[in-house]
Amino acid sequence: MGKTVTATHCPYCSLQCGMELVASPAGIQVRGRDFPVNNGGLCKKGWTAADLLRGDRLTTPLVRWQRDGPLRPASFPAAIDAAATRIRATQQKYGRNAVGVFGGGGLTNEKCYLLGKFARVALRTKNIDYNGRFCMSSAAAAAQRAFGVDRGLPFPLADIAETGLVVLVGSNVAETMPPAMQWLARQRAAGGELIVIDPRRTATAEGADLHLQPVPGTDLALAAGLLHLLVADGGVDDDFVAARTTGFGEVRRLAAAWWPERVERVSGVAAGRLREAARRLREAPTAMILTARGAEQHSHGTDTASGWINLALARGLPGRAYSGYGTLTGQGNGQGGREHGQKSDQLPGYRRLADPAHRAHMAAVWGIEPGDLPEPGPSAYELLGALGSDVQTLLVAGSNPVVSAPRAARVEAGLRALNSLIVCDVVLSETAALADVVFPVTQWAEESGTMTNLEGRVLLRRRATAPPPRVRTDLTVLSTLAGRLGVARGFPDDPREVFDELRAASAGGVADYSGITWERIEAEDGVFWPCPAPDHPGTPRMFADDFPTPDGRARFQPVEPAFPAEQPDDAYPLWLTTGRLPGQYQSGAQTRRISRLCGRVPRVEVHPSLAAALALAHGETARIVSRRGSAEFAVSVSDAIRADTVFVPFHWGGTARANSLTDPALDPTSGMPGFKACAVRLEKPEKPEKYEEGTG
């Protein structure tokens, strides 16, 4: 047997870098591939992605036959029987809504679509949501209310190379999406400027023209202060505001109260540096304002994203060439995953479950009565809070909430209290280890399907190798389970068939995929939605002429600076903020199993002055305590962090679980928890251990 080469995409983040998989009897090798977002470049996660195909992954279904017994290998039919029996028993005893579904932003579009349909049509439960709530839902809500549509970037990533100024708010592109740095490098080489706003002096901030280092959770005050200065110094694009927006008067009135010295008092950013940022924004001929999780993962994250959108609108950026506002989505299918029905309030194509016309459309596609569709259910945090009470059985696909959810210890207790937990995953994650039934599912290289990257570009992952014999796709699990629950029709497991149904379902919706085919994706290096007809070119750039709002205008939002729900005090005197490391991805369930990525220990970044005050040495363990719980990390002494703030990564479970600490206070609009700022104290354990740190 010779070599086969398959063009596909990385399994991890929202860039969805193009790669080739070279399969031979010796194994599978990864090669970079020329694709518009990465031009052949990959980060270390991409280069090592194939390691898990043969590594520490699940190869057989597992069933826990007795409540406290062990998980034992089972055949696929036996596992399906076990799952169906548990679902039926729960619904008979407690009602339809007692079975919940929890999805993920890494699932293909086809899986997201079929998972939503499975919940609404096969289970007829209102209780479905997904881990994207904990990712970019605040920016999505803000974009929706300002522009009438939520697409992470309303322009291709490569446009960054052409803009005069990039303002990055709460994003560390250099370490989380290294191949994207080439666009910033080109932009800088052409004379463009970069402003980074981040409580840490990250690798991205190191190279910026200006780094503003605010107190965590004060980004909205910064945006208000910048708008104040634009108004004061004639930086508002009055023609754009008059012709293409509504609501500026109230926003201008609110900004008047945020003069630079007041912003300095709450954010810690010197008034002079704020003026410097405003001057650069005012003078740049073109500019992009890009937010990410650092600004968005707060209990006021939607308003914060709105504050940055207000600033972009005041400068007249959205719809102008090489300008605009965007959010840098995190998860691999963070964009497509929020479009096709796995959110509690949503139907495919970004339709709304509460809208009678939208319900009628989807009911017709699915061949049911509109009245048979459940009502909108609770968002992810509330759904996980109902485990063991309103929800007695949970189906989890592509998510590891034991590590990634806020108040993770409570979520773990809730999962243990269920009548039954059914998990579809690639590996025995911390969540799968608690399950009663585990379905091992195919990895990215073992299946075909579409993803939608951070640009709104729909792309195709192609199968390059066969999975182990007992491993099925999530689609096959859902299809077989639906049949066993008595819904024999409407659940195909062929991804192309599911995609064609998704196209029809999305027709006429905001995220219209009806003109996109797998053939077009292959021929055109992906197709940007909306694409409402086979002869439509797709929409790489949005808003040039109007916004998809009832009057065609963008809507300023009158938001007032708000601050983290929890503030430091005598008992918890420090800020905690959380984030990602270069060699790990999300809850780490996959990347922690790849030996080439496992060099690093979980560490807390501590400023030298704080380390000295607490007598903490580099490499020793320290305990972090919040009002929710405690966790232990190795100390990494660094002057890149503010002295009043500590930083931990969120890729680990067990005693280094960041989400044992984080604040679950929810954003009232998006349901986003306050992951990025809470009050903690740092303690030196009586017998601190010493870690040697590697390079992973």
Q: Does 17 bind ligand SF4 (CB under 6 A)?
A: yes
Please work out, in degrees rounded to the nearest 5, the angle formed at the alpha carbon of residue 590 by the alpha carbons of 72 and 406.
90
Stretch near ligand SF4 under the rule CB under 6 A, chosen from 40-48, 400-408, 437-445, 643-651: 40-48
Q: Does 16 bind ligand SF4 (CB under 6 A)?
A: yes
CB-wise, 42 or 309, nearer to ligand SF4? Answer: 42
Stretch near ligand SF4 under the rule CB under 6 A, chosen from 38-46, 188-196, 645-653, 669-677: 38-46
Q: Does 652 bind ligand SF4 (CB under 6 A)?
A: no
- Order of all β-strands in the sheet with 4-9: 4-9, 18-24, 27-32
Q: Could you give the string, one character per residue 157-186, with x where binding to ligand SF4 holds by CB under 6 A and - elsewhere?
A: --------------------xxx-------
Please work out, in degrees rounded to the nearest 5, the angle formed at the alpha carbon of residue 253 by the alpha carbons of 239 and 140.
75
Residue linked to tokens 């932003």: 105
- Closest approach of ligand SF4 to the CB of residue 294, in Å: 18
CB-wise, 244 or 593, nearer to ligand SF4? Answer: 593
CA 273 to chain centre: 31
* 327 contacts 305 by C-beta, under 8 angstroms: yes
Closest by alpha carbon to 306, among 454, 453, 169?
Answer: 169
Stretch near ligand SF4 under the rule CB under 6 A, chosen from 11-19, 145-153, 208-216, 236-244: 11-19
- The C-alpha atoms of residue 294 and residue 301 are separated, in whole angstroms, by 9
Going from the C-alpha of 450 to that of each of 505, 542, 586, the distances in angstroms are 16, 22, 21
Find the binder of ligand SF4 among 6, 13, 411, 589 (CB under 6 A): 13
Find the binder of ligand SF4 among 6, 12, 123, 225 (CB under 6 A): 12
- The C-alpha atoms of residue 603 and residue 650 are separated, in whole angstroms, by 10
- The C-alpha atoms of residue 559 and residue 258 are separated, in whole angstroms, by 12
Find the binder of ligand SF4 among 6, 28, 30, 46 (CB under 6 A): 46
- Closest approach of ligand SF4 to the CB of residue 9, in Å: 7
Contacts of 663 (CB under 8 A, 6+ apart): 299, 406, 564, 565, 566, 626, 628, 673, 674, 675, 677, 678
Q: Does 45 bind ligand SF4 (CB under 6 A)?
A: yes
Stretch near ligand SF4 under the rule CB under 6 A, chosen from 39-47, 219-227, 398-406, 546-554: 39-47
Stretch near ligand SF4 under the rule CB under 6 A, chosen from 5-13, 62-70, 95-103, 619-627: 5-13
DSSP 8-state class, residue 579:
E
Which amino acid is residue 590, in one-letter code? Q
- Closest approach of ligand SF4 to the CB of residue 179, in Å: 5
Find the binder of ligand SF4 among 21, 23, 28, 42 (CB under 6 A): 42
- Closest approach of ligand SF4 to the CB of residue 35, in Å: 10
- Closest approach of ligand SF4 to the CB of residue 586, in Å: 10
- The C-alpha atoms of residue 384 and residue 401 are separated, in whole angstroms, by 9
- Closest approach of ligand SF4 to the CB of residue 456, in Å: 16
Find the binder of ligand SF4 among 15, 28, 478, 677 (CB under 6 A): 15
Q: Does 633 bind ligand SF4 (CB under 6 A)?
A: no
Burial label, 210 (beta-carbon count in 10 A; 0-12, 13-18, 19+): middle
CB-wise, 104 or 164, nearer to ligand SF4? Answer: 104
Q: Does 604 bind ligand SF4 (CB under 6 A)?
A: no
Structure tokens at 174: 């250099």
Find the binder of ligand SF4 among 21, 23, 43, 464 (CB under 6 A): 43
- The C-alpha atoms of residue 386 and residue 115 are separated, in whole angstroms, by 20
Which amino acid is residue 15, in one-letter code? L
Q: How many residues does the chain have?
A: 696
CB-wise, 329 or 442, nearer to ligand SF4? Answer: 329
Residues at the interface with ligand SF4 (CB under 6 A): 10, 12-13, 15-17, 38, 42-43, 45-46, 177-179
